[in-house]
Chain A
């Protein structure tokens, strides 16, 4: 392991009191910021960690009685890698031979780690990753070493998958808490794929999801699904923010129905579900594919509490006008009560809400483009 040190003294002062705090991790185009707060409105930040490294993915793993921060980082010069910290960013470790490296027979090199997703509490040590080029990876040692999922890598559809603007990547990996055999992934472009045999085989699950950027009927696969989130109680219920379209599936992805009515726009990048309550989801609408700004320059999050039947606009505390978008992983919820909601913009503002989006406070501003936001309740 390589030690990777950063100046992070302030964070230890914040954590000198016993109890719980909220850890907020903000990955940007030029570094990582880490904040802690006991009221989720005032945060003490350290950073930038990994200055001049893009941080497209963060995983906060609070299982096993410790808080592990996993980051996918990438330097334009020195390439991509994965590092982790078990002391809230005071020191970082990087496996010498790389946590994610393609096997020699693939003759492929890792470009970017788009997703780091710890599995459920009853599968400690299991961490999933989604990467560019389109690939899914599984770790059983807490994210120190990942193995390429061969089922998806060797998939016959691979040659037909495309690249979104940001690259060809598996950007969403959703394990299922109740069923270790079921995993959903989403890729751009390719859409949603599901495995029901623990990742041995994968089938496209995009029926009902549009592909307005292609002529004719929507295909079996090839959609540009931007993000998928799973209901906390019913693993068959999924929510998807598509490249044009917001959808829900009640049958584990076999079919999707539009839930975009009531939103000011159906384009967007991110979608999140509540950690405990069924029927609640958040999106950040963007006006359109060809006009990628918040509608009328008025940034707002929207929440449904009835599984998409209706939506409530949430903008209290947000600055207007705001012409920057919120990217697919630049938003997160925590697990506190009430649930905290966080997001960052490409203009470098980061907002936090301690009441499910009812009111937001700007907790960081003028950062580089925010690529990834994650939050967790941590023990001090």
Chain B
């Protein structure tokens, strides 16, 4: 059964997604992952995708992604399954000096 996933965009990256604070993506089937969602977004906004993931597909060290409030690194990383109705939040972590 299909539905939508809401992806919250941090303010610093909104210029890379046409100034949208959030993106609503259709989830057509079970088995969709965070990586697959980012692939869809990256197809339309490739620079945004490069800010989150390096060219090997790995999530950048100081970028955190939360799925319904849980850090995906504590779940199954970018392979964590996403279901319709869930919320994906992207936040920059602590870094720099």
Contact = CB atoms under 8 A, between A and B. Distances in A.
Interface in B55-94: 55-56, 58, 60, 62-63, 92-93
B1 interface: no
A81 B55 CA distance: 11
Main SS class of interface, A: loop
Given A2-B47, A98-B50, A77 B56 contact: no
Nearest to A108: B56
A101 B50 CA distance: 10
A165 interface: no
A81 B50 contact: yes
Given A76-B62, A97-B46, A109 B56 contact: yes
Contacts, number: 48
Contact of B63 (A78, A98, A110): A78
Given A107-B56, A109-B58, A79 B47 contact: no
Contacts of A108: 56
A77 B46 contact: no
Interface string B14-45: 00100000000000000000000000000000
A337 to B, nearest CB: 41
A2 B50 contact: no
Nearest to B46: A96
A101 B54 CA distance: 9
A77 B50 CA distance: 11
Given A94-B47, A98-B50, A108-B56, A77 B16 contact: no
Given A94-B47, A98-B50, A109 B96 contact: no
A217 B77 CA distance: 48
Residue picked from B13, B50, B95, most chain A C-beta under 10 Å: B50
Given A76-B95, A77-B95, 16 more contacts: A75-B51, A76-B62, A77-B60, A77-B63, A77-B92, A77-B93, A78-B52, A78-B60, A78-B63, A79-B51, A79-B54, A79-B60, A101-B55, A102-B55, A104-B56, A109-B54
